[in-house]
Amino acid sequence: MPELPDVEYFKFYFKRTSLHKKIENVTCESKELLQNIDFEKFKKKLVGTQFQTATRRGKFLIIRVKELEEKLLLHFAMTGSLHYVKQGAEKEDEDRFTRLTFQFKNNYELRWRNMRKLGKIYLLENLQKIDLLNEMGPEPLDISKDEFMELIDSHPRQMIKSFLMSQSNLAGIGNVYSDEILYRAKIHPRTKIKNLSAKDKSKLHEKMQKVLRDAIEVMEKKDWNFSPDKWIIPHRHEDDNCPRYKSHKLVSKKVAGRTAIFCPKCQKFE
């Protein structure tokens, strides 16, 4: 499920594969995912032009198109990925969930895959028309320690895991990375913010930025191979062991409606 590091990786992938290539055709297998424009208009605007650059905000990939005021936005929601291949190339299993395809003049195509159809596609000039973007909190990699302290202290009654996952607090962190951040900071996911010490909060800021930066690096350089000795990401199964101490068992519990994975020995509830 794409979160900040995943979408950052998709941005990297998109820039490496799909910029400055003439778009010859667009197909959309799930037109209902188009949010503010009908498919015929969407296609007419994009065919003949090319993608110029891409940025990320939260879980949105924002793409600038040459000679177009409108930007193309892809929101990945719970599932999704990009796949750049030669046109007519044999389909991988996940290509069954391709919802949008851009065919380029060089005989390659970019497939946007979105299994659960919760993703969204926009083509629009004014990004402020998107509530999800308007209400989004700061980028966790850009927020200073002082700003973070102020933000976290303004939500004393929230559980720390809910706080981290709320897009209006911080942009782009979801279930998987909130677990990883809390594990590294040794904080139980159900801890109320008012019960955290200044030291905990400072550590949280530091670990949040470290986890997100390291994850982006693992995706880009190591092809998503998260070391099981360091990360709990590869241990999201029942009865798996804590990467720090093999004798600790990880547990999963519902927190804020999501399944949190944590080590009850490393992350004591206070």
Q: Would you say 221 or 237 has its CB closer to Zn ion? A: 237
Helix (H) or strand (E) holding 4: helix 4-18
> CB of 247: closest distance to Zn ion in angstroms?
8
Q: Would you say 258 or 265 has its CB closer to Zn ion? A: 265
Q: Would you say 73 or 266 has its CB closer to Zn ion? A: 266
Residue least distant from Zn ion (Cβ): 242
> CB of 26: closest distance to Zn ion in angstroms?
49
Q: Would you say 57 or 235 has its CB closer to Zn ion? A: 235
Phi, psi of 236 (to 5 degrees): -85, 45
What residues make contact with Zn ion under the rule CB under 5 A? 242, 244-245, 248, 263, 265-266
CB atoms within 10 A of CB 57: 18
> CB of 245: closest distance to Zn ion in angstroms?
5
Q: Do residues 260 and 161 make contact, with C-beta atoms less than 8 angstroms apart?
A: yes
**Beta bridge partners of residue 82, listed in sequence order:** 112
Q: Do residues 161 and 178 make contact, with C-beta atoms less than 8 angstroms apart?
A: yes
Q: Do residues 152 and 208 make contact, with C-beta atoms less than 8 angstroms apart?
A: no
> CB of 260: closest distance to Zn ion in angstroms?
14
Q: Would you say 43 or 265 has its CB closer to Zn ion? A: 265
> CB of 266: closest distance to Zn ion in angstroms?
3
Distances in whole angstroms, Cα of residue 251 to Cα of each of 259, 267, 269 = 10, 11, 13
